[in-house]
Structure 1
């Protein structure tokens, strides 16, 4: 099945796949909702799924189709290579992520690989995932809930003693929290911690 909201794209993909006798087109859809209905009506093995579409986007459609038809393999086929889309498509259940500038031979190979249960990622998608995996976590990601509460009060300019009274905890506990906050944020002092909190919207 081919799912794309642009007629010319669907037509081009149909013409590409028509050159291979082994592929039989189960249907075409212009959005995710239509794709779901087609899955109800036809036996589908592989879906070429665009991601940005009206009515129901590709990510939502992938999630619904995989929930209702777990044996269907879905290849995300899009023009977008943003990290968020790549990760969301794969998390939703797409087996592969390809860009629309793919060649006929590359697409046919990806379809065969998907049918065999093997993933194929475009070089761009692979690079996006590698970059995401190697990026250091943003500052403050490992702060505890209590440390975030203390940090919020630091941003308000409160002293340790005032924070102690506000949160009903001991003065020494506040000092320990502040020390931990500075360490986790890599801040040299309270002022730098406050600046980091504001810049990264931690509070």
Structure 2
């Protein structure tokens, strides 16, 4: 007997979570839905499981050092900002399976879930093509996680958070605002990250996710 696919809707807004489940349950009748208010317990998921992360109430996933690649399952970033869309290539490197802009989350959620459930990604064609070119160019498969990188390069937890923002294309000023620290502190973290990883520029850091 085939087990029903599990879908976890993660948000601190229970009303939003219930609306998502109410909408999806009509189309995905064999799926089992769960609500979570944090990602703390979402480890060692089955590869068929789907996680819908509410960016609006939980904030940027980098705050939680969230690397879906190390947790398994198909992760969808819902209610994403335009800034998230601009950093979509970094999200792909981190293992995200899809991204939904805030204004179109409910409109496109059904299609996104269906695509991810079938093993496909829900990103723009340009973002996926760029990421695939990088993988082919390096002739390696994505197998790295933030946890592995942190251990390999001895990055502190704060440096790991800054790293995850960097690969999403955030500027130093934007990172400082997200983490509520000074600009000089961010610059120091970036300098340490480049020194520890042996990279010469921020642009080279994304390649570490596929090395």
* Structure whose CA Rg is larger: 1
TM-score normalised to structure 1 length: 0.46
Which one scores higher on RCO, CA 8 angstroms, separation ≥ 6? 2
